Amino acid sequence: MELSGKRLVVTGGAGFVGSHLCERLVADNEVVAVDDFSNGERAWLPDGVEVVEGDLTDPEVAAEAITEEVDGVFHFAANKNAAADDIDQYRFNNELTETVLDRMDEVGVDKIAFTSSSTVYGEAPRPTPEDYAPLEPISIYGASKLGEESLLSVYANSHDFTAWVYRFANIVGPRLQLGAVIPDFVDKLEDDPDSLTILGDGRQEKSYMHVDDCVDAMCHVVEHAGDVSEGTSEARRTSSDGDFNVYNLGTRTTTSVTTIADIVSDEMGLDPAYEYTGGDRGWVGDVPRMRLSIEKLSALGWEPEGSSDDAVRRATRQLLDG
């Protein structure tokens, strides 16, 4: 789908990644942002974006935002607390996605891009490709994302939808909220510059991707998925030509939690003593090590601008600059 001259709905559009996508889309499209502002800020939305305020589990809110004139939906809205250990998160996220899909089906809107997560894989071999099986999430958040993916699969295979599913690595950058590791470290060091408590043993190692790269990759997938040349066996193997297209979004490298602490401390001009809470993970359901294969994304002609360390350092500087 060409992302120009369209009317596009971004659910969770005032949130961290959603607001950056709105900035990218609004120059060439009509953009409607739907948000209850529980995870986002109205001030993050650029001029020219229409706003529908409300909870998308309410069918009336979905009906106000998603009309016959809409060409496609980018679905970000969710309870995004990856450390939550509450089955209500699963119920809420799946009800929300079901309401969005129901409304789309009702008015004939058949294109949706959905933000899933690497957490659907659980503790999988690395790098993890999109066709890895079985998918065994170890957190409620991961289970909720896998449930939502399953709903999209049903609509793609049985209701003539086209769905693009993004399995995100850890996305970082401006507007990243407290609770994520970089702003958490910044906040702790502003309170106490001499010591820093790190959850787990600090050896947890994951892929970090800057939000600008993430938004660029998302748009590239929507515009090019299925368009890979059939001239090589590798292209045939990695391209997605169906209605349900799944892509990992990340970098080819990883960064440990201790390295993030080093980068944040360096950017703040500090040399704190580290104190570790112990154990190989930071919370119940935390996947200690994650690196996604991005060969399928690469086959579409897209590569990240920098490494995982680069993304962490750039995001730290931007968060410190305010």
166-194 confidence digits (pLDDT tens): 999 999 999 998 889 999 999 999 999 99
Q: Does domain 177-206+252-290+305-321 have CATH number 3.10.450.50?
A: no
- At 37, the amino acid letter reads F
Statement: residue 73 has pLDDT above 70: yes
- What percentage of the chain carries pLDDT values higher than 90? 89
SS (H, E, C) 161-200: CEEEEEEECEEECCCCCECEHHHHHHHHHHHCCCEEEECC
For the chain, the domains span: 7-170+209-249, 177-206+252-290+305-321
CATH class of the domain defined by 7-170+209-249: alpha beta
Question: Phi/psi at 129 (nearest 5 deg)?
Answer: -85, 165
C-alpha to C-alpha distance for 104 and 102, rounded to whole angstroms: 5
Q: Considering the entire predicted model, what is its pTM? A: 0.93
pLDDT digits (tens, 9 = 90+) for 228-259: 433 333 433 333 446 999 999 999 999 999 99
